Amino acid sequence: MPTNQRTYLPNDQIPCGFAVVLAQELRVRDWRIRIEDMLGAIAKVQRYTETLSQDQFLKDEKTLDATVRNLIVIGEAARHVPDEIMQRYPDVPWRRMQGLRNLAVHEYFGVDSAILWETIKRDLPPLLPHLRRILEESK
């Protein structure tokens, strides 16, 4: 089977209605694309929350869920940045981003929305210049 062709399970075997792509078809993505994913996810979080107060954010279930999803994207992307890059840029909190992803995925019931707000407003904005610099220096 060509590697660019996707194989799906027959409709009667699809668990919970989701098409399942076989694991062999997962593509390895360049780490630079992961950095771009992080930048995109930060931009989305900022766009979703820019006009909200903390109180509005805490009461807006859809925005809260969308924000958590993008924080998961940031952490997952950070997991795929090579160790040598992480070591070269120690000012980026790689492990903390990964840890937040793990918390949101595995301990979702323990996610504190007020702490997420602080993360969004205090921790994400300073990441942008660091991530952009990494991409620029990798050209």
List the catalytic residue out of 101, 130, 132, 133: 101
Cα-to-chain-centroid distance, residue 77: 6
Q: Could you confirm whether 106 is annotated as catalytic?
A: yes
List the catalytic residue out of 106, 122, 130, 133: 106
Scanning the structure block, which residue is given the tokens 């958590």?
68
- Cβ atoms of 109 and 70 within 8 Å: the answer is no
d(CA 60, CA 117): 12
Q: Could you confirm whether 80 is annotated as catalytic?
A: no
d(CA 69, CA 13): 27
Active-site positions read 101, 106
